[in-house]
Amino acid sequence: MADGLTGDGALLALSPHLDDAVLSVGAALAAVAATGRPVVVCTVFAGEPVPPLSEPAARFHRDCGLGADAVAVRQREDLAAVAALGATPLHLPFLDALYRRHGDGWLCTWLGAHFDPGLPAEPELTAEITAEIAGLLRSLRPAAVWTCAAIGGHVDHRLTLATAAAACAAEGFRLARWEDLPYAIGRSAESGQGRLLTGPISAAHRERKLAAIGEYRSQLGMLFPAGGPAWRSAFAGHAAARLETHGAEELVWSAEPPACAHASGSGLSPSR
């Protein structure tokens, strides 16, 4: 299980979207919550857009079977999923890339544009999110902060990682990064990410994760179009594969490179 958690502070998981933390590290979060430590799952891009929407956003809603109240539905799914882990949800008001404007138009002009590494920078948004996360760190004073490693390259995942890193640096907290799922399913793990903080997971916590994922009904059909039990076997298969190669079913890396692991001691306690 996640090592190095000291003191009685919360584990703060900074999730880009309303599903990422649960999909990626739901079992680890459930295991930490089961020890009695508060676990806060804070979703950065959980804001509700004001119509009209772009064509890619409307298409995404159709693909998910969602209507005009798409984000409200997804927020409710997240409340149920995070509660199923024994954690506390928190939703920040920033808009998903699909809903964001850029200049006179949209940031994403085609479905899939959010993976384009050439999207324009958003310095004002970056500063706003960094300030929001910094404020959260000051008020919550968590024992550990986790976010995504931005594997897959989604612009919102890259922004979450960048702003979390900037806020943690400014406020004196270490930041650990998780392997983004389902993006990493079927791929070998990225090397050189740092020291692993996670280990084997109990069957009970594995089941809690799967129960929590099941709450994201609008997303499962889009992420796993084959339907039925496909998503369950995909996550279980990935966990088994990582357990075999890494000794951990969900990968969370400390900020330090592997060579520093023994010198740094606890990777999950605040650095001040």
Sole window of 19-27, 80-88, 188-196, 260-268 interacting with Zn ion (rule: CB under 5 A): 19-27
Sole window of 18-26, 72-80, 218-226, 230-238 interacting with Zn ion (rule: CB under 5 A): 18-26
Q: How far apart are CA 206 and CA 219, in angstroms?
A: 20
CB of 210 to Zn ion, least distance (A): 19
Name the residue nearer to Zn ion (CB basis): 9 or 160: 160
| Residue 17 lies near Zn ion (rule: CB under 5 A) | yes
Residue nearest to Zn ion (CB): 17
Q: How far apart are CA 44 and CA 238, in angstroms?
A: 26
CB of 157 to Zn ion, least distance (A): 6
| Residue 16 lies near Zn ion (rule: CB under 5 A) | yes
CB of 34 to Zn ion, least distance (A): 25
Name the residue nearer to Zn ion (CB basis): 17 or 91: 17
CB of 70 to Zn ion, least distance (A): 15
Sole window of 20-28, 93-101, 214-222, 245-253 interacting with Zn ion (rule: CB under 5 A): 20-28
CB of 18 to Zn ion, least distance (A): 8
Distances (CA, A) of 43 to 22, 89, 118, 251: 11, 8, 24, 19
| Residue 78 lies near Zn ion (rule: CB under 5 A) | no
Q: How far apart are CA 81 and CA 89, in angstroms?
A: 9
CB of 59 to Zn ion, least distance (A): 17
Q: How far apart are CA 219 and CA 137, in angstroms?
A: 29
Distances (CA, A) of 223 to 92, 128, 210: 23, 29, 15
Strands 175-178 and 252-253: antiparallel
Which H or E element spans position 54?
Answer: none
Question: How many chain residues are in contact with Zn ion, going by CB under 5 A?
Answer: 3
Dihedral of alpha carbons 135, 172, 197, 158, sign: positive
